Amino acid sequence: MKRIAHLIAGTTIILGIAHVSPAAAVGEMPDKQTCASAKSGIIAGGCIATDREKGNCMACHSFTGIERTRLQAGNIGPPLVAVKARYPSQKRLREQVVDASQFNPHTVMPLFGKYRILTDNEIDLIVQWLYSL
């Protein structure tokens, strides 16, 4: 399973998140310890988004905070910036994460909700995090 998960990530990123304080500023990537205890809020969302076996969002998107980690961002999707300004409602943003094929039938963005890659709760947290970017 471990080995497969490794393959699945499809990337050779070295996992190792730079240390930042638990009271990390918005958009910052918290460390592993912080992630282990974060159960809610923006930080927990950021943890799920950057977990290679969960959101793995950095495989395709860059976003603020990533430059302070050793994760390498891909460029298949657009940079995730000024999200709040562009998405007046969190509902539409959530739909993008749940099922991106609603908006682009040929999308390569994984259908995180529809194919149950993430749970409803995990998606809620990711949306909170997205809104902080």
Cα(61)–Cα(97) distance, integer angstroms: 13
32-59 b/e (C-beta count within 10 Å ≥ 16 → b): eebbeebeeebbbbbbbbbbbebbbbbb
Coil/strand/helix, residue 126: helix
Which of ligand HEC, another protein, none lies near 9, with the C-beta cut-off 5 to 8 A by kind? Answer: another protein
Question: Toward another protein, which CB reaches closer, 65 or 128?
Answer: 65
Q: Is 103 in the site for another protein (CB under 8 A)?
A: no
**Is 14:70 a contact under the CB 8 Å cutoff?**
yes
DSSP state, 59?
G
Question: Toward ligand HEC, which CB reaches closer, 23 or 89?
Answer: 89
Q: Is 59 in the site for ligand HEC (CB under 6 A)?
A: yes
Which of residues 49, 71, 73, 98 is near ligand HEC by CB under 6 A?
49
Question: Toward ligand HEC, which CB reaches closer, 10 or 19?
Answer: 10
Which of another protein, ligand HEC, none lies near 43, with the C-beta cut-off 5 to 8 A by kind? Answer: none
Which of residues 15, 25, 26, 76 is near another protein by CB under 8 A?
76
Which residues are within 8 A (CB) of 56 and not within 5 positions of it... i.e. 6 or more apart?
Answer: 9, 50
Coil/strand/helix, residue 101: helix
Q: Could you say which residues in the range 35-64 bind another protein, by CB under 8 A?
A: 56, 58-60
Q: Is 80 in the site for another protein (CB under 8 A)?
A: no
